Amino acid sequence: MRIVLLTSDDRVRGLTSDGGFEIGVISAATIFLLIATSILGTIAGLLYGFIRMLLRGPRWLVATGVGIAAAAGAGGGMLVHADGIDFQLLGPLWLTVGLFLLIPGAWGVTVVVLTERLLKSGRIHPYLPHPIDKRLWGAVGNTAGWLLLAVITALGLLDLVRDVARLT
């Protein structure tokens, strides 16, 4: 977010952001934000563990799908909004919105790659369903997993487009 501060007008320094943080100041609130986002990232990682049981496909495709869903759902649907000062005063708008999409998107790709590497190394063990369950999880689970990612992406993108349209 330091990049956005450097590209914004100097009048934003010292203002309180939508998240309740003083813009341009690194403080105890910054450390709290890092801890809180780490906890949220862990919870989201557990959600990916569930989705991983459903998804089938090459690692690059799964990583891309999860990255897009994270960027659209978390970034576009939850973080980018037209109310408040974050996206009205910080700029340029394309950079601010882009960074708010890039961070959760990069998290999505990273969690897939790291999880798959840990599974391949044997350091963690996947849930292995009963052989009868494997057939059921095959087509139905895969379809449900990709559908879930598509819904998260679509809802996030709809919210993002609506908010960006209000900002421009």
Q: What whole-number distance in Å separates Cα of residue 140 and Cα of residue 112?
A: 21
At residue 40, the pLDDT reads 86
The pLDDT value recorded for residue 135 is 60
pLDDT tens digit sequence for 27-73: 887 888 889 888 988 888 888 877 877 787 888 998 999 999 999 98
Query: Where are the chain's structural domains?
Result: 45-167
Phi-psi domain of 155 (left: phi exceeds 0; alpha: psi -120 through 50; beta: other) = alpha
> Which residues in the chain show pLDDT less than 50?
none
Give the side-chain half-sphere CA count within 13 A for 122. Answer: 0
Q: What does the pLDDT read at residue 1?
A: 66
The number of CA neighbours under 13 Å toward the Cβ of 97 is: 21
Residues 6+ apart with CB under 8 A from 80: 87, 97, 100, 101, 159, 160, 163, 164
